[in-house]
């Protein structure tokens, strides 16, 4: 790998070659069908938009939702040694166990959404020998981005390809809707650095308080992000090299999962602040990625609103969430599912025997 170009990951090259522009004819057919349903025109708003986007991304006007799956990637960060989080790094490993034993928020919400939860160790600093954890570990945490690159290019490619593998496995098992999630103490710091590298926004416009840090630690966090961007400035030249310089293993894994979903015409729901950092990387790999992504919610983490504005997208929910894990994606599954059910099961005016001559009553 030289100058951010892909040299060794044929899997990544292959996935990128398969990502295509969605077929606008499918979108037109979906809109025409929605206009014929026995409801006032556009009266179900975002639910209709979700249905249209879902079937268009699937490239199938008759698409249903089967086996929705949350992919939660876990990894640790060397920058945690700078004291930018309110929690110790060991919490990442402990929460991975909590995910698979059913005691975490994402465990509960995935179950509520009738979704499968897949937990992937792609870079946790300790071993995660727990039943049902998918072991895709590339390394035991990243290097400290305040001192140099988080990962080598080869490690970054490996983490992306791990995400591709997990996503494609879920798709091959029948999942038609994926969601992203993350776990990694201190990961709002590299995420903010990624955003700053891709946009003209400054760290203080993006970074928030993560796990609930105080004013002193918050000020230090901003300084660390600025230092990371300066130390790695010569490497901030491409999506791959930006991920390598200031990213993380779980962020790279999520990026790979997003790319794989798009290449396989499978809609994917982006969780919050961390997952959106992975999404902005994926979108910079291929702009067509955006047409396959639902953005689940507006994070309470500072700067997320500005980032979504930069991407030109509107989140489905605004619930003051900032947990991560995939919790926003799990909640959004219910919204998207409702839209697709409406699309597939509500009768048309004609089939229902409802006259449209008095349609002004619906206005």
Q: Are residues 105 and 251 in the same domain?
A: yes
Distance CA 258, CA 281 (A): 10
CATH of residue 142's domain is 3.40.50.10210
Are residues 330 and 191 located together in one domain of the fold? yes
162 and 251 together in one domain:
yes
Residue 2 lies in a domain: no
Task: State whether 54 and 153 are in the same domain.
Answer: no
Q: What residue has token string 């507006």? A: 298
pLDDT single digits (tens) 167-211: 999 999 999 999 999 999 999 999 999 999 999 899 999 998 877
Is the distance from CB of 250 to CB of 138 less than 8 angstroms?
no
For 55-114, the pLDDT digits (tens) are 999 999 999 999 999 999 999 999 999 999 889 999 999 999 999 999 999 999 999 999
Does residue 207 form part of some domain?
yes
341 domain residue, yes or no: no
Is position 6 within any domain? no
pLDDT band for position 3 (50/70/90)?
A: very low
Query: Using CA atoms, how far apart are residues 93 and 153, in angstroms rounded to an integer?
Result: 25
pLDDT score, position 321: 95
Residue 9 pLDDT class (50, 70, 90 cuts): low
Rounded distance between C-alpha atoms, residue 57 and residue 336, angstroms: 13
| 169: in domain | yes
Token pair 């930006």 is found at 242
DSSP notation for 307-338: HHHHHT---SB-S-----TTHHHHHHHHHHHH
CA 213 from chain center: how many Å? 24
* Residue 19 C-alpha from the chain's centroid: 17
Residue range of the domain that includes 356: 17-61+346-362
Give CA–CA dist 11/238, Å, rounded.
Answer: 18
Among 63-72, 113-122, 282-291, 298-307, name the one with the lowest average pLDDT.
298-307
Tokens representing residue 260 in the block: 């794989």
Residue 278 has pLDDT above 60, yes or no: yes
- In this structure, what CATH number is given to the domain that contains residue 350? 1.10.1610
Q: Does the reported pTM lie above 0.85?
A: yes
Confidence of residue 280 (pLDDT cuts 50, 70, 90): very high
Q: Which is it for strands 178-183 and 133-135: parallel, antiparallel or unpaired? A: unpaired
pLDDT score at 208: 86
In a domain, 240, yes or no: yes
Per-residue confidence (pLDDT) for residue 5, from 0 to 100:
45
Q: Is the pLDDT of residue 268 over 90?
A: yes
**133-135 and 69-75: which strand pairing?**
unpaired
**How many CB atoms are located within 10 Å of the residue 249 CB?**
36
Q: Are 56 and 124 in a shared domain? A: no
**Predicted pLDDT of residue 1:** 31
How far is Cα 21 from Cα 286, in angstroms, rounded to an integer?
10
Supply the pLDDT for residue 115. Answer: 98
Which of the following is catalytic: 168, 325, 341, 360? 325
Report the first-to-last Cα separation within the chain, whole angstroms.
Answer: 59
Q: How many CA atoms lie within 13 A of 159 on its CB side?
A: 34
Which residues contact residue 9 at a Cβ distance below 8 angstroms, ignoring those fewer than 6 apart? 157, 158, 160, 161
Let me know whether 41 and 166 are in one domain: no
Percentage with pLDDT > 90 across the chain: 88
276 pLDDT higher than 70: yes
**pLDDT at res. 353:** 85
Number of domains in the chain: 2
Predicted confidence at residue 7, as pLDDT, reads 45
Residue range 335-349: mean pLDDT, rounded: 96
Same-domain status, 37 and 175: no
Residue whose pair of structure tokens reads 């590298």 in the numeric block: 197
Q: Are residues 127 and 174 in the same domain?
A: yes
| 340 within a domain of the structure (yes/no) | no
Mean of pLDDT values over 305-320: 96
Instruction: Identify whether 234 is part of a domain.
Output: yes
Residues 205 and 304 in one domain: yes
Chain mean pLDDT for the chain: 94
Is there a single domain that holds both residue 301 and residue 355?
A: no
Q: Show the tokens assigned to 197.
A: 């590298």
The tokens describing 279, both together, are 């999404």
Look up 325 and say whether it is catalytic.
yes
């Amino acid at each position: 790998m030289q100058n951010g170009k892909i040299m060794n990951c044929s899997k990544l090259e292959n996935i990128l070659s398969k990502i295509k522009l969605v077929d606008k004819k499918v979108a037109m057919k979906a809109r025409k069908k929605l206009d014929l349903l026995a409801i006032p025109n556009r009266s179900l708003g975002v639910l209709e938009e979700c249905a249209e986007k879902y079937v268009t991304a699937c490239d199938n006007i008759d698409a249903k939702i089967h086996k929705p799956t949350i992919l939660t990637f876990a990894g640790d960060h060397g920058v945690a040694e700078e004291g930018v989080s309110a929690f110790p790094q060991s919490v990442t490993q402990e929460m991975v166990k909590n995910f698979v034993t059913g005691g975490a928020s994402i465990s509960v919400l995935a179950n509520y959404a009738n979704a499968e939860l897949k937990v992937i160790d792609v870079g946790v600093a300790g071993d995660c020998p727990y039943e049902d954890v998918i072991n895709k570990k590339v390394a035991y945490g990243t290097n400290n981005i305040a001192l140099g690159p988080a990962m080598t290019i080869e490690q970054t490619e490996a983490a992306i390809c791990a995400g591709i593998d997990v996503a494609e496995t879920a798709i091959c098992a029948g999942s038609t809707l994926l969601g992203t999630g993350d776990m990694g103490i201190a990961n709002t710091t590299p995420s903010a650095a990624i955003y700053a590298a891709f946009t003209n926004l400054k760290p203080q416009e993006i970074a928030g308080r993560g796990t609930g840090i105080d004013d002193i630690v918050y000020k230090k966090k901003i300084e660390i992000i600025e230092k990371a961007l300066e130390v790695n400035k010569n490497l901030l030249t491409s999506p791959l090299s930006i991920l390598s310089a200031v990213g993380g293993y779980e962020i790279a894994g999520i990026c790979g999962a997003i790319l794989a979903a798009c290449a396989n015409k499978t809609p994917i729901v982006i969780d919050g602040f961390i997952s959106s950092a992975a999404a902005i990387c994926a979108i910079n790999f291929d702009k067509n990625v955006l047409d396959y992504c639902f953005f689940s919610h507006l994070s309470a983490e500072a700067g997320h609103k500005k980032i979504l504005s930069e991407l030109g997208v509107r989140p489905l929910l605004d619930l003051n969430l900032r947990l991560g894990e995939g919790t926003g994606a799990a909640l959004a599954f219910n919204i998207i599912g409702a839209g697709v059910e409406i699309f597939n099961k509500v009768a048309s005016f004609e089939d229902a025997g409802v006259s449209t001559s008095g349609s002004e009553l619906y206005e």
